[in-house]
Amino acid sequence: MVEVLDSRWLERARDKRWLVAVSGGRDSVVLLDSLVREGVENLVVLHVNHSLRGEASDADEHFVADLADRYGLPFLLTKEDVGGIASSSGKGLELVAREVRLAAYVKGVTAYGCEGVALGHHADDQAETVLFKLLRGSDGFKGMKLENELYVDPIFLKVYRPMLGARRSTIDRYVQEYELEYREDETNNEPFTPRNRIRHEVMPLLSDVMGRDVVSAINNAWEACYQMDDFLDSQINFHQMLDPQGRLFLPLLEKQHEAVQGRVIHWFLKEKGVKDLSRGVVHSCVALCHVHGVAKVNLPGGGWMRRKEKRLFVEWGE
């Protein structure tokens, strides 16, 4: 039997209820099938129709509904006009799609009393994500976690990626072994998107240049950085850096190493609802620790990080 699930996670998963996000593509179909075969019986199938590919999106929806029916599992559908929302709101398509998915996860987890949502990301996705974020300069050398918790109003949503240790080639073998059917998303092969070019052009080129498969090397480097970041965070008392009004207190923050200042400011901005943080923005905010008088840094979303009276705080525009 081809194994694709994390064994440690699987041991804890069997006696809990899980929301499984299924797009209809190969990875999510393998995730659902493997969970069923491994005896994780209390599952709810969620499909999010982004309405971005016309009849193909609706065909995906029907495919997943039929799949859930064949497994005898509850089926939950969220259907939104992501393109229309993006146009009317002025937000990017990718951001709106993510917000729609997160809202769907919260709805499903809450409605069915699930432990969390299981997603079908795998090791090759991880390497591509790490490389993409590194080159884009967003949040530094960051990847996905096997288990993660994030606040999505009104709950803390638990997100699990049980196949994160499995290679794409292993998932392909699983499909062949069990003769699984799945839907092809033609947009995954479009050559003009950065993520697709990393997958189809950059990763093969890197492997060719190095004379070896680079996925494990990238993921091992990310894992080492993550462990160091996790340790650093465990040593920082973030709330101790705040004054009674919830502002960063500079006399305390200025005494910290610059790496700690960056972690504290990153945490603080996230707590204040600032999204899409780049390393450049965080570095600019760290620089506020070393100036005198009143100063400010523009933030994503129309706000500012301001320095005044030995405090740092966030202000939002009208």
The residues, ordered by sequence, that sit 6+ positions from 318 with a Cβ below 8 Å of its Cβ are none
Asked if residue 25 belongs to a known ligand binding site, the reply is yes
Asked if residue 302 belongs to a known ligand binding site, the reply is no
Query: Phi and psi of 232, rounded to 5°?
Result: -60, -45
Asked if residue 98 belongs to a known ligand binding site, the reply is no
Asked if residue 199 belongs to a known ligand binding site, the reply is no
Strands (E), the chain: 18-21, 43-49, 75-79, 116-118, 147-152, 155-160, 248-249, 295-299, 303-308, 311-316
Asked if residue 307 belongs to a known ligand binding site, the reply is no
* Cis peptide bond N-terminal to 154, omega within 30: yes
Whole-number Å distance between alpha carbons of 219 and 279:
20
Asked if residue 24 belongs to a known ligand binding site, the reply is yes
Whole-number Å distance between alpha carbons of 93 and 195:
14
Whole-number Å distance between alpha carbons of 244 and 197:
49
Whole-number Å distance between alpha carbons of 35 and 42:
10
Known binding site: residues? 23-28
Known binding site for ATP: residues? 23-28
